[in-house]
Chains A and B, each alone.
Chain A
């Protein structure tokens, strides 16, 4: 009784292929081709109904034998290939896990934007909206409305770039206070980030820099609230051990006015090079909005009151990051900016060099 030639043919070819398989993946393909749900041998077994009834048992047995044999052979070959593959991997050496991973390094956020956004986030959390105003301003908004009289030395406090006798590059973000108050009735709670310009250039002064102005106007809002708010800000910005100090000062648009210092976070107040042995760092100017300014925007100083502050973003960034030359911000040397990119800030731990391997741990 001749075995089924078709089964024989499938078996022989499969056995040859199994012997020739070079990888477990090859073997899996062979298994699917022959023994899978629509494999050659499976198909043959399914088609038994088409052959004469007398031959059916023999053919069926032969096919089942071949199936068992092939399964066994595949299993055996699989074991052998697995061993082979493992040893091949060993021969090729371990996967070198110290090679850097594939990344497209992210670009840097400019440190000024970084600090500015931090400041904005803190004050947004305290219920302040963001307001903006133009960089080219009129004398009225930059000075007159803020209570800087014509021909007054207070104007010397800010060396101004003029575009015409009446227009200038704003010397502070304070004109945004005026624009905001003129555009809406009280209460007001805004911060105003932006570029400002003064005719001054050295390692701590730049002709262009950034400020964030804050303004809060309401029926009852005191200098105590200003102090409390700035204290909260300092702790958030410079760490929970931070403290602030108010010193009397003079700004034409606030009365009373206060210069605000933050406890030097480098020396903790003991005195160091950065704080010039003072223990305190001047970070911003502030005060209660001058009644004349309130009148200038049509508010009644008997009805409402409020406070304002303005801080230099570069100053905060220089202190926070230990930057000693303001010009670095606008030179945009990529090595400088790169220090503010996610991959380099903070310094990320790297694997130790191959061979030592002491810091590689597996869990």
Chain B
């Protein structure tokens, strides 16, 4: 909201400059985004009168005629070329003589145009930087003092403070509200605007009647009638003040309602009395199917919960939001019914949202208007309207206020302030602050008895008063302490600890952590073979379709990361993410509205290692992603897990069936890994093979914790034997390993595959798997004979069982 510095000073007697005021307000909780002059760079421009038009110089490119005008100042006359169509003898306007400057640093000098000298320039609103109108030169009233400095005359030598008010402080959404704050902050006297009404002969009650049928939505409605008005442009000071705070001047009557809105913060509405049969106002809910056209010319369908201002039959305004086109003030208006009402905030907010219509009025009403202050606003506006429109305010107010709202009283214990804040102002200062803010204070009892003014609807309890006192006293007076609280053991959730452990492990293995959006593209999910449509949680108001459902798995985000990097010439990526995936609520979720699980996803593509003089150029394959998954499991303390090629629960559709498997620990499925299908890669524009793994940290966390058990170190030497077994390519390493382990060979301390070879001498359809076996006894050195015998048994078992042959042993 824009506030004029000069306007502010009308209500608070302070010598502080705009910058100091800004500083004070900021430290009391009123944000001031900027303090800037109304116009910058305007100087030397004066009020001038066109005495005569001397010569027509022919058409301008814009189609107007350039004319040579004689402009009079008290001491001198000037010949000025002007192309404005409204230049006419007798007009008083803005004149920039040579030596003046216009906004933007434009310096005015005498110039020669087609052989004719122009001694200065007549200016439009736009050229002066005070408005958008460039259609002609500024028209000033006939009584504007010729030769006077235009800035002073129009009040352009002013500063505008752009303030931001938090939603709890509707009372500060006005010049007077800010002035009151400033008075409390500085101790400078505060003055409420004059609102004395000179009542006319005729009684308002004879001209208007108000009936509230829905007081739950409109607790008070007051009206005055002003007669004998004529509609004309507002005087320059008023028009300029509105322009300076960002409002568009319309005419004297409408401008008054806006002026008083800005000054006192209470929205008002002016009806053309002649359009209201019998001057009758009914405040009621809309009827089913009712429609009306608002001031902006749009026809609105009304809903039964919306509060309407109506005449005897039809709706004439959306209460507290916007007036209607049929009853608005027009150039022919002579009598005005002026409304000052109070509406229920929630209702205004719902209506404003339903209609998609937010106005200065609805903005204030939805924050809460001052139910008592509306009378002052009504009086001030009525008198101003009469003054500016040459009319008379009818005697009295038609004021319907069925259930006057009591003022709340709150006890404030200063020792409570001390306990909450760690400091407290002296009692007299606390009382002064509250009184300056408009509270009535009874200081006779130990606890202050505070009466809350009607404009402070945000103050409901003691804590609210504590804040009032401390924010005005100064937050910088709050001490810096470290309380001695109760001691307790510091804990972190096991999932977080586990996630960090895994992340560090993967970081060390060269994988980078990514964080992707939790909302994904349903179409992409479909392209990835996601079948569980019903299991998706959709946003009601997504930013875009691409970000419209909560991710049911981490894979789409990871693939997006690979795709983005591939499109930026970064084809090699090894990344992981730890994040939640979402599915519909299950019973165990309790009061958590959705089922959330923490997962870890890994994605690899491109080169296995960054290029280096010592590194090869191998590309990642399925064993890289399995290895990374193994590391993750190891970080969770799990060394034994199963690879299940065809799990009961199936595998995600984005994994290639021939090259993917689930991972389980005991009976618990903990995730999967594999190569990403061609179709999925196409959906993400990924050119190279991609390998992905996803593991549920939630599942891993639920497994019993593993504590390492110490094994005595071997005291006797070990013996190692290698065994290369050529078998059919169908036989897996896992089967062979299981067969060896099933033999329950004594002294077999370690078993490892160290080479896999196919082709060449091995023969087609077969491959060689080379195993390293380490034998060791805990209590003695094994003899060659023992080892040879054991080894031979293993060879025999394997060759028979898998119809293999041995390629040579060492």
**Which residues from chain A sit less than 8 Å from chain B, CB to CB?**
99-100, 102, 104-110, 112-113, 117, 120, 124, 127-132, 134-138, 141, 149-154, 156-157, 161-164, 166-167, 169, 187, 189, 195, 197, 199, 201, 207-208, 216, 218, 220-225, 227-229, 231-232, 245-250, 252, 255-258, 288, 290-291, 301, 305, 329-335, 337-338, 341
Contact = CB atoms under 8 A, between A and B. Distances in A.
Nearest to A128: B490
A291 B514 contact: no
Contact of B483 (A99, A124, A197, A218): A218
B591 A100 contact: no
Interface in B443-479: 461-464, 466-467, 470-471, 475-476, 478-479
A127 B367 contact: no
A173 B1 CA distance: 30
A113 B514 CA distance: 9
Contacts of A141: 591
A207 B167 contact: no
Residue among A120, A164, A169, A332 with the highest chain B CB neighbour number at 10 A: A332
Contacts of A130: 491-493, 496
B65 interface: no
B594 interface: yes
A242 B588 CA distance: 46
B76 interface: no
Given A110-B514, A135-B580, A249-B166, A331 B609 contact: no
A164 B540 contact: yes
B479 A330 contact: no
Interface in B599-623: 609-610, 612-614
Contacts of A152: 167, 345-346, 349
Interface string B351-376: 00000000000000011000000000
Contacts of B593: 134, 136-138, 163, 166-167
Contacts of B347: 151
A85 to B, nearest CB: 24
Interface string B664-695: 00000000000000000000000000000000
B573 interface: yes
A134 to B, nearest CB: 4
Interface in B185-199: none
Contacts of B732: none
Interface stretch (B221-229, B231-239, B515-523, B718-726): B515-523
Contacts of A207: 517, 519, 543, 547
Contacts of B464: 255
Contacts of A232: 482
A108 B422 contact: no
Interface stretch (B21-29, B287-295, B313-321, B756-764): B21-29
B540 A162 contact: yes
Nearest to B592: A134
Given A136-B537, A161-B542, A250-B166, 20 more contacts: A104-B509, A107-B510, A107-B511, A127-B487, A132-B493, A134-B596, A138-B593, A156-B167, A163-B537, A167-B594, A195-B518, A218-B485, A225-B422, A225-B481, A227-B480, A247-B26, A257-B467, A291-B461, A333-B565, A334-B565
Interface of B, helix, strand, loop or mixed by DSSP = loop
B575 interface: yes
Nearest to A156: B167
B561 A335 contact: no
How many chain B residues sit at the interface, stated as a range, is: 35 or more
A250 B167 contact: yes
Interface stretch (B404-412, B500-508, B738-746): B500-508
A189 B492 CA distance: 12
B281 interface: no
Q: Which 6 A-B pairs have the closest CB atoms?
A: A224-B422, A248-B29, A256-B467, A151-B346, A250-B166, A222-B422
Interface in B18-73: 26-29
B570 A335 contact: yes
B12 interface: no
Given A161-B539, A228-B479, A288-B463, A106 B510 contact: yes
Given A129-B492, A224-B479, A332-B515, A255 B463 contact: yes
Contacts of B169: 250
Given A108-B513, A152-B349, A248 B467 contact: yes
Contacts of A225: 422, 481-483
B510 A105 contact: yes
A341 B540 CA distance: 38
Contact of A222 (B483, B575, B576, B596): B483
A272 to B, nearest CB: 17
Contacts of A333: 564-565, 568, 570
Contacts of B167: 152-154, 156-157, 250
A290 B29 CA distance: 17
B614 A227 contact: no
A199 B610 contact: no
Contacts of A249: 29, 166
B488 A189 contact: yes
Contact of B463 (A105, A187, A229, A290): A290
A232 B482 CA distance: 9
B420 interface: yes
Nearest to B596: A134
Given A107-B507, A227-B480, A331 B564 contact: yes
B334 interface: no
Contact of A247 (B423, B475, B610): B475
Interface string B148-173: 00000000000000000011110000
B112 interface: no
B92 interface: no
Contacts of B540: 161-164
Contacts of B519: 207-208
Name the residue in A106, A107, A137 with the highest tally of chain B Cβ atoms < 10 Å from its Cβ: A107
Nearest to B489: A129
Contact of A104 (B419, B478, B542, B609): B609
Given A128-B490, A164-B540, A246-B478, A109 B503 contact: yes
Contacts of B29: 247-250
B807 interface: no
Contacts of B420: 222-223, 256, 288, 305
B463 A256 contact: yes
Nearest to A288: B420
A128 B167 CA distance: 32
22 contacts: A99-B613, A107-B511, A108-B512, A108-B513, A112-B515, A124-B490, A135-B596, A151-B346, A207-B547, A220-B419, A220-B483, A222-B421, A223-B478, A227-B479, A231-B480, A248-B467, A248-B471, A255-B466, A301-B463, A332-B564, A332-B565, A333-B568
B771 interface: no
Nearest to A257: B467
Contacts of B28: 248
A22 B529 CA distance: 66
Nearest to B422: A224
B485 A223 contact: no
B495 interface: yes
A23 B269 CA distance: 107
Contacts of A108: 507, 512-513
Contacts of B506: 107
B350 interface: yes
A137 B488 CA distance: 29
Contacts of A107: 506-513, 574-576
Nearest to B558: A332
B508 A106 contact: yes
Contacts of A341: 512
Contacts of A332: 514-516, 561, 564-565, 575
Given A107-B510, A223-B478, A231-B480, A199 B543 contact: yes
Q: Which of B349, B420, B507 neighbours the largest number of chain A CB atoms within 10 Å of its CB?
A: B420
Contacts of A156: 167
Nearest to B349: A151
Contacts of A117: 500
